[in-house]
Amino acid sequence: MIKVGIVGGTGYTGVELLRLLVMHPEVSLNVITSRSEVKRPVSELFPSLRGLLDLEFSEPDLSVLTLCDLVFFATPNGTAMKMASELHNTGVRIIDLAADFRLKDVHEWEQWYGQKHEAPELLMDAVYGLPEINREIIRNSQIIANPGCYPTATTLGFLPLIEKGWLDCQRLIVDAKSGVSGAGRGAAVSSLMSEVSENFHAYAVSGHRHLPEIRQTLETVSGLPVGLTFVPHLVPMVRGIQATLYAELKNKDLDLKSIHQAFKDRYVDEPFVDILDLGDHPQTKSVKGSNICRIAIHKPQNRDTVVVLSVIDNLVKGAAGQAVQNMNLMFGFDESAGLDIAPLSP
C-alpha cells in the first residue's frame, strides 16, 4: 500500500477524493490538512465518511507530508506551488487538482491567474494528467497537473476529430454548462439556493481561465494554432457538465457513420470513455458519481458542422476521479482501482 496525504480536504473536491480513496485497496490515508479545521475529526465535518475514516484535520506540515509516497493538493489555485518544490526534492509524488502546473507558459499563467508563479522551474516537469492522451508519460512522472473539468469534457469530445485532421481548428466553439459545485464550497451569494434555483446564465464570456488550458492541449495534439470560443454557463443542479462542441469539417462529405466509427476506434480501450450509439443524447445524470465521460456525435442536416455532446461529473472525471486514475497509473495499480463504481440514479 502507498501512504497518501491530502492538502486541503474540506472542499467538494477534497471530500470527493476522500470518498474514493477510503475504498481504494492500495491506499493508506496518512494525513489530511486544513488550516481552518485543525483537530476536527474529518467524519464530523463530512458525516458521509463516518465509520470509514478515523483521522483529524491537521496543519499542513512539510515534515509530515514528506513521509508520504503521494500528496494530493485539493486546494485553491496558488497553493500547491508554494510547497511543491520541497516535496519534489524529497522524491514525493504530487497530483495538483488546481491549476498551478497546467499551463507551460509562466507568463500566460500569471496573466490568467493574477499572481506570481512561485515554482516556475517545475512547470516543464509537470505532466498534464489526461490519461487518454498522456497515459505512458503519467506512469513515470513525479508531478501531475490534474486537468480542469471543462477542459476534460471538451478535450475528450474534440480529440478524435483533431487527431484525424478533420476539423478547421480556427473555428472551434465550446458551449458548456456546469452544476454549482464547480464554484466550490465557499460561501458566496451567487451560490445560494435562492440565487441558483430556477436560474440559468452564462459567465466569463470575455475569457475563462480554462480557455488557455483547452487551447494549449488542443494545439499540442494538432500541432496547429487553435481558434477557440469558449462560453461557460451555470445551471441549477449540483453536479455535472455538458459540453456541446461545434466544429466545421474540412470535408463536408465526410459521413456521420465514419465520424462515429473514428470515435469508437479511438476510445475502444479507454475504461472511462463511453461512445453512445448514433442518434443518442447523453445526460449528466447518467454519469453522476462516476468517472465516466459519455459522448455522442451528430451532424445536423448532414451539412459541414459536427456537433459533439460530452458529459462528465465535474467532481469525479472532472477532478477527484481523474486524480485517482492518475495515481493508479503512477504507482502501477489497475487503472480502474477504486473507480469501478456505477453512476448514481436517480
| Whole-number pLDDT of residue 192 | 82
Which residues are known to be catalytic?
149
In a domain, 342, yes or no: no
Q: Which helix (H) or strand (E) covers residue 234, if one does?
A: strand 228-234
The answer to whether residues 66 and 177 belong to one domain is: no
What is the domain range of residue 103? 2-125
| Whole-number pLDDT of residue 57 | 97
The enclosing domain of 200 has a CATH number of 3.30.360.10
Q: Please tell me the total count of domains within the chain.
A: 2
List the one residue out of 126, 70, 72, 135 whose CA is nearest residue 271.
135
| Whole-number pLDDT of residue 185 | 79
The enclosing domain of 43 has a CATH number of 3.40.50.720
In a domain, 87, yes or no: yes
In a domain, 36, yes or no: yes
In a domain, 27, yes or no: yes
pTM: 0.96
| Whole-number pLDDT of residue 308 | 98
User: Residue 243, class by beta-carbon neighbours within 10 Å (0-12 exposed, 13-18 middle, 19+ buried)?
Assistant: buried
The answer to whether residues 57 and 154 belong to one domain is: no
- For 45-98, the pLDDT digits (tens) are 999 999 999 999 999 999 999 999 999 999 999 999 999 999 999 999 999 999
In a domain, 344, yes or no: no
CB atoms within 10 A of CB 183: 15
pLDDT averaged per 10 residues in sequence order, the chain, 346 residues: 96 96 97 95 96 95 97 96 96 98 97 97 97 98 98 98 96 97 80 86 95 98 96 96 97 95 98 98 98 98 95 98 98 98 92
In a domain, 308, yes or no: yes
The answer to whether residues 49 and 161 belong to one domain is: no
| Whole-number pLDDT of residue 193 | 81
Q: What cell does 255 get?
A: 459521413
- Sign of the Cα torsion 66, 335, 28, 240 reads positive
The count of C-alpha atoms lying within 13 angstroms of the C-alpha of 264, restricted to the half-sphere facing its C-beta, is 9
The answer to whether residues 281 and 239 belong to one domain is: yes
The answer to whether residues 95 and 194 belong to one domain is: no
List the one residue out of 109, 110, 140 whose CA is nearest residue 127.
140
